Amino acid sequence: MKRILVVCYSRSGRTRRVAEAIALQCDADLDWIKDREPRQGPVGYLRSALQALLHRKPWIQPARRPMGDYSLVIIGTPVWAWNIASPVRSYLGRYGDRCRRVAFFCTCGGAGADKVLADLQRLSGKRALATLALPRHVVDRGQFHGAVEQFVRRFNGQRGDSVSGARLAA
Ligand SMILES: Cc1cc2nc3c(=O)[nH]c(=O)nc-3n(C[C@H](O)[C@H](O)[C@H](O)COP(=O)(O)O)c2cc1C
């Protein structure tokens, strides 16, 4: 039977919300990327932006789910300073080569999502079966379920297309 894992990092809950919706839609297991850096408040924000810009790979907790057991791993990240969030970079660095097939999604304020989705594919060394970018206002208004349905349909249909939540929500 096909097994799917959805894994993400989320600082303020939006990417996590989307991860939960995707997992529900495709009956997937869920895992969270956890680090131990303080990321709240202005100092935490700056630390996060700087780490992302400098492509740092902070310590992360060992993954609870062995991704080699899954036929597809769907990885989600918030966009930080036009870059992959640093804990997700750590996850890809540590486990990326164990993922057989991948799909990626991100949430953002509105800038840098295409670059981040391209970076994720480059870092993993794999072409994503599907990608999804969702602006945070779409997530906050709960208007992302149609985009998630389309995203899931793409990798269930094995095609490598991408889908933009911004366009779908308009
Ligand atoms: C440190 C930091 C840098 C960010 N940089 C960007 C950015 O370059 N472009 C953008 O569109 N949004 C940016 N954002 C906004 C987040 O991508 C957006 O709010 C996202 O939905 C947060 O996801 P989360 O709630 O899962 O943490 C940034 C947020 C943080 C905390």
Query: Which residue ranges make up each domain of the chain?
Result: 4-169
Q: What pLDDT is attached to residue 158?
A: 56
CATH of domain 4-169: 3.40.50.360
Answer yes or no: are the C-beta atoms of 86 and 48 closer than 8 Å. Answer: yes
Task: Give the distance (Å) from ligand 1 centre to CA of residue 111.
Answer: 9
Query: Would the pLDDT of 79 be above 80?
Result: yes
The token pair at 161 is 């297309």
pLDDT tens-digit series, residues 103-128: 999 999 999 999 999 999 999 999 99
Q: Which H helix or E strand runs over 104? A: strand 102-108
Q: What is the pTM assigned to this prediction?
A: 0.93
Q: Which residues contact 46 (CB under 8 A, 6 or more apart)?
A: none
Query: What confidence score (pLDDT) does residue 66 get?
Result: 87
Ligand 1: which atom is nearest the Cα of residue 52? 1
Question: What's the CA gap between 103 and 72, in Å, rounded?
Answer: 7
Residue nearest to atom 4 of ligand 1 (CA): 80
Q: Are 112 and 136 in contact (CB under 8 A)?
A: no
Cβ–Cβ under 8 Å, residues 156 and 22: no
The amino acid at residue 27 is D
Q: Whose CA is nearest to atom 30 of ligand 1?
A: 80
11 alpha carbon – ligand 1 mean position (Å): 9
17-64 pLDDT, tens digit each: 999 999 999 999 999 999 999 999 999 999 999 999 999 999 999 999
Ligand 1 site residues (CB inside 6 A) read 10-16, 45, 48-49, 78-82, 107-112, 136
Q: What is the pLDDT of residue 2?
A: 63
Residue 40 CA, ligand 1 centroid: distance in Å: 13
Position 169 scores a pLDDT of 34
Sorting pLDDT into bands at 50, 70 and 90, what band is 155?
confident
Arithmetic mean of pLDDT, 139-151: 97
Question: How far is Cα 9 from Cα 91, in angstroms, rounded to an integer?
Answer: 9
On whether the CB atoms of residues 20 and 146 are closer than 8 A, the answer is no
Specify whether the backbone of 110 is left (phi greater than 0), alpha (psi in -120 to 50) or beta. Answer: left
Region 93-100 average pLDDT: 93
Which residues have a Cβ under 8 Å from the Cβ of 142 and sit 6 or more positions away?
Answer: none
CA 1 to ligand 1 centroid distance, Å? 36
Residue of minimum CA distance from atom 27 in ligand 1: 11
